[in-house]
Amino acid sequence: MASDKEKKDKFLTPSQIEIKKIYSEKDLTNFNFSRDLGDPGKYPFTRGIYPTMYRGKLWTMRQYAGFGTAEESNRRYRFLLSQGQTGLSVAFDLPTQLGFDSDHPLASGEVGKVGVAIDSLDDMEILFNHIPLDKVSVSMTINSTAAIILAMYLALAEKKGVEWSKLSGTIQNDILKEYIARGTYIYPPHASLKIITDILAFCQKNVPQWNTMSISGYHIREAGATAVQELAFTLANAITYIEAAQKAGLEVDTFAPRLSFFLASHNNFFEEIAKFRAARRIWAKLMREKYKAKNPLSWKFRFHTQTSGVALLAQQPENNVIRITLQALAAILGGTQSLHTNSRDEALALPSEESVQIALRTQQIIAHESGVANTADPLGCSYYIESLTNQIEEKVMEYLQKIEEWGGMLAAIEKGFIQKEIQESAYKYQKQIESKEQIIVGLNEYKNKEEKINFRLYYPPKKLEKAQIKKLNLLKDKRSAEHVEKQLQALREALEAEKNLLPYIMNAVKAMATLGEISSVLKEAYGTFKETIAI
């Protein structure tokens, strides 16, 4: 049994990887630099997916935003673009995510609160007013209603005269993580997979530059998973999507190049960097060796990163700027393609313009003043980094094997295995904070005496909800109810015939059917999912 001194001298990452006092070549005895590391831009892409990385092009700088009405959100987007942001990330309110129109009883009190309310094509048009869709990359964080939101965006591009081939961006479209960690699911998993494969097939033919999925570990991590679990469960979800698409008759190289990923960056600096590097290598091996992808683009793990929301404190919020900077730097040293930096006041409320600007300037200072963008994978060949990368890869592969033994990710979710693993990790971390085994500055140590939180919270006023409902009612009055019902009936028939749903959803959107009406038709056919609680 380990003594107290031995326990004290033992250092572990949050993923329970033991950290030695010093590393040397002895820690890489089974490591083949040519096979497992290689050069940036070459298989297995451990050092990055492009030969010159940020020397050729900086990562896309995004700020996730969306609140209140489409008009308010549009003003924030135009402000961000004027400050040098290079891509937009749209946050939707809960009713939009869950398939309810703003006038639905279950939407009451939630309209415009955690994102923008989008009920119809009219709202989408206002949201992107004066924003050139063919020049700005747009990422939309939406899952259960992803097909409807994508149809609205494509219909808007058509209305503006922008060819779909010129659209760039991402729709998250990752429903499995909703069952695991986030909870904004509507339909049962198998029905959701059908919708997802429809989107993959439709975009592969019609919207070639669009990233059809952003397979998200971020929400899994924010729910309490470790870095290893985040990566393992994200990759297990990706495997499920690939195999569902193959069963639907899609060749892997027709859709895999447009898959992307979304990971979190937390505070354990070197573990995060190693996680990103391991992700590239595991994905490359899976795609080339297991799924026999021939196109090198299918082997590349392209990912967006967001700094950690759960790591931010309401206490001493200025300290969050330092946390965000470290997390952003880890993502960049790890080779991210796109980055959102959280704002210092997000533990309190929706971020102010001043805070958003500081968050964006954080990325710009790292990019232009730190020198970290001058060479690809600057920490590569570090004994410590390479050892951590190897150990994360091993632990992730162990999880993937375990999930396979459960019968795959769907079975593991339905039986509660994944949820239980995350819950146990979250509980363990909370106990470490309470015992001060993990110091959180300003929370369990280095607290200010009698600290008062002085901050004006933003709540969308009730009149905002009333205005959104009034706008929705006006839309229903002016549209052709007969034409709407005709398109909704066509969608019902497509569901019965198991056709690709995107063209029918698109026609309904153009007829001014609302998001809630289209979602209701899908609910009629598929039903809704009820979670089984595992104890």
pLDDT 10s digits, 102-116: 999 999 999 998 899
Q: 463 pLDDT band (50/70/90 cuts)?
A: confident
Dihedral of CA atoms 21, 25, 29, 32 in degrees, nearest 10, equals 130
Tell me what the pLDDT averaged over the chain comes to: 93
Hey, what are 525's tokens? 């056919």
Q: 278 in helix, strand or coil?
A: helix
Domains for the chain: give ranges and CATH numbers.
56-373 (3.20.20.240)
Say whether pLDDT at 459 is over 80.
no
Taking the C-alpha atoms of residue 244 and residue 249, their distance in angstroms, rounded to an integer, is 9
pLDDT of residue 436: 96
Going by C-alpha positions, the residue among 308, 300, 312 that lies closest to residue 331 is: 308
Give me the percent of the chain exceeding a pLDDT of 90. Answer: 85
pLDDT of residue 300: 98
Given its phi and psi angles, is residue 95 left (phi above 0), alpha (psi -120 to 50 degrees) or beta? Answer: alpha
pLDDT digit string, tens, across residues 306-347: 999 999 999 999 999 999 999 999 999 999 999 999 999 988
Q: What is the mean pLDDT of residues 195-221?
A: 94
pLDDT of residue 461: 64
Cis amide linkage into residue 188, ω under 30° from 0: no
pLDDT of residue 457: 54
Taking the C-alpha atoms of residue 207 and residue 186, their distance in angstroms, rounded to an integer, is 26
Residue 459 CB contacts under 8 Å (≥ 6 apart), including other chains: 113
Residue 455 CB contacts under 8 Å (≥ 6 apart), including other chains: 317, 345, 348, 349
Measured CA to CA in angstroms, residue 252 lies from 247, 288, 290, 291, 400 at distances of: 11, 11, 11, 7, 20
Taking the C-alpha atoms of residue 459 and residue 114, their distance in angstroms, rounded to an integer, is 10
Q: 397 in helix, strand or coil?
A: helix
pLDDT of residue 108: 94
Instruction: Provide the sign of the torsion angle of the four alpha carbons 272, 276, 277, 279, taken in this order.
Output: positive
**DSSP summary character for residue 92:** B
Q: 298 in helix, strand or coil?
A: helix
pLDDT of residue 402: 97
Q: Are 413 and 189 in contact (CB under 8 A)?
A: yes
Q: Which residues of 503-518 are buried (b: 16+ CB within 10 A; e: fewer)?
A: bbbbbbbbbbbbbbbb
Taking the C-alpha atoms of residue 491 and residue 520, their distance in angstroms, rounded to an integer, is 11
Going by C-alpha positions, the residue among 334, 332, 316 that lies closest to residue 365 is: 332
Q: What is the mean pLDDT of residues 67-79?
A: 91
Range 242-250, long-range pairs (CB < 8 A, 24+ positions): 242/291, 244/193, 244/196, 244/197, 245/197, 245/200, 245/201, 248/197, 248/201, 250/197, 250/200, 250/201, 250/204
**Lowest mean per-residue pLDDT among 49-63, 104-118, 240-254, 345-359:** 345-359
The gap from C-alpha 475 to its chain's centroid, in whole angstroms, comes to 32
pLDDT digit string, tens, across residues 264-293: 999 999 999 999 999 999 999 999 999 999
pLDDT of residue 64: 83
Say whether pLDDT at 531 is over 90.
no
Say whether pLDDT at 59 is over 80.
yes
Hey, what are 165's tokens? 């081939």
Hey, what are 395's tokens? 């632990």
pLDDT of residue 510: 98
Say whether pLDDT at 223 is over 70.
yes
